[in-house]
Amino acid sequence: MVPFFCSENEMSYVAPLKDISARSKKGAAATFFNLYTWGGNYYGELGDGTATLRNSPVFITSDVGTVSAGFYSSHFIKNGQLYGMGINYLGQLGDGTTADKSSPVQIGSQTYWYDVSNALDSPHALFLSFESGQTKLWSVGGNASGELGHGDTVSRSSPTQVGTAIDWIVVDGGGNHTLALSNA
C-alpha cells in the first residue's frame, strides 16, 4: 500500500488494500479493512488462536490497512499499530520475546507504522514508520547474513532502526537479504 501523507504528523492510504502477500502455502488479505487468513498454521501464523490448518478464509480482525505473510509468521498494521503472530524463535515477531504466538500480539506501543514486509524463507521482518515528517526503516529477527542492516550478524527481538536515513519508501525481505528504496 502506498501511503498518502496529509500533513507532517498524519497519513492516510491511497487504497484500502495492500498488495496481497501470499507465501509458502498460506495467504493473508486485507479486504475492506477486514483481515482473513487461511492455509498452513503450524506455529499460529494465521492468528486464529490455534495451530489448525484452515482451508478457507477465517476472519481475524477489522480496521487493518497492511498485511504481510512470511516464514511461518505474519504481521499486520491496524490503526497504525503493528501486530505479529506465528513462529518467533529468533524474535522475528518483534515483541521482545522468542515465544511463538497463535493470536495477534501488539508490537510496542507506537501508532505510526505504515508498512511491513515479512521475508520469504528467512526469519526476519521489516517495518516502515512515519512520524514527524520522517519515514524510518526498522528490522527484527534472524540476522545470520546481516539482512537486518545493522552492520553485524546479531539477531534482534525488538524493532531496531536501520541506520539514520529518514526517507525510506518501500522495503522487502527475501531469503537472508533485504531490498529497500529511498529518496536519498
Q: Where are the domains of the chain?
A: 17-182
Contact 48, 60 (CB under 8 A): yes
Question: Is the confidence at residue 57, as pLDDT, over 50?
Answer: yes
User: Given this model, what pLDDT does residue 165 score?
Assistant: 85
Measured CA to CA in angstroms, residue 26 lies from 10, 99, 100 at distances of 33, 21, 17
User: Given this model, what pLDDT does residue 177 score?
Assistant: 94
110/35: higher pLDDT: 35
pTM here is 0.83
Q: pLDDT tens across 128-163, in order?
A: 999 888 899 999 999 999 999 999 999 999 999 999
Question: Is the confidence at residue 7, as pLDDT, over 50?
Answer: no
DSSP string, 156-172: EEEEEE-SS--BEEEEE
Highest mean pLDDT among 13-17, 29-33, 73-77, 172-176: 73-77
User: Given this model, what pLDDT does residue 16 score?
Assistant: 35
Burial of 45 (0-12, 13-18, 19+ CB in 10 A): buried
Say how far apart CA 16 and CA 56 lie, in whole Å.
Answer: 22
Q: pLDDT tens across 85-132, in order?
A: 999 999 999 999 999 999 999 998 888 898 999 998 899 999 999 988
51/165: higher pLDDT: 51
Q: pLDDT tens across 59-75, in order?
A: 999 999 899 999 899 99
- 69: its cell numbers: 505473510
Beta bridge partners of 10: 7
Instruction: Encode 96-127 in three state secondary structure.
Output: CCCCCEEEEEEECCCCCEEEEEECCCCCEEEE
Say how far apart CA 39 and CA 22 lie, in whole Å.
Answer: 10
Question: Is the confidence at residue 17, as pLDDT, over 60?
Answer: no
Cβ neighbors of 7 (< 8 A, separation 6 or more) are: none
Cβ neighbors of 148 (< 8 A, separation 6 or more) are: 124, 139, 140, 141, 155, 156, 160, 162, 178
Q: Topology of 17-182 in CATH?
A: Methylamine Dehydrogenase; Chain H (2.130.10)
User: Given this model, what pLDDT does residue 27 score?
Assistant: 47
Residue 144: DSSP 8-state: T
User: Given this model, what pLDDT does residue 120 score?
Assistant: 84
User: What would the mean pLDDT of 26-37 be, rounded to a whole number?
Assistant: 64
User: Given this model, what pLDDT does residue 1 score?
Assistant: 39
User: What would the mean pLDDT of 28-50 be, rounded to a whole number?
Assistant: 84
Contact 120, 173 (CB under 8 A): yes
User: Given this model, what pLDDT does residue 9 score?
Assistant: 41
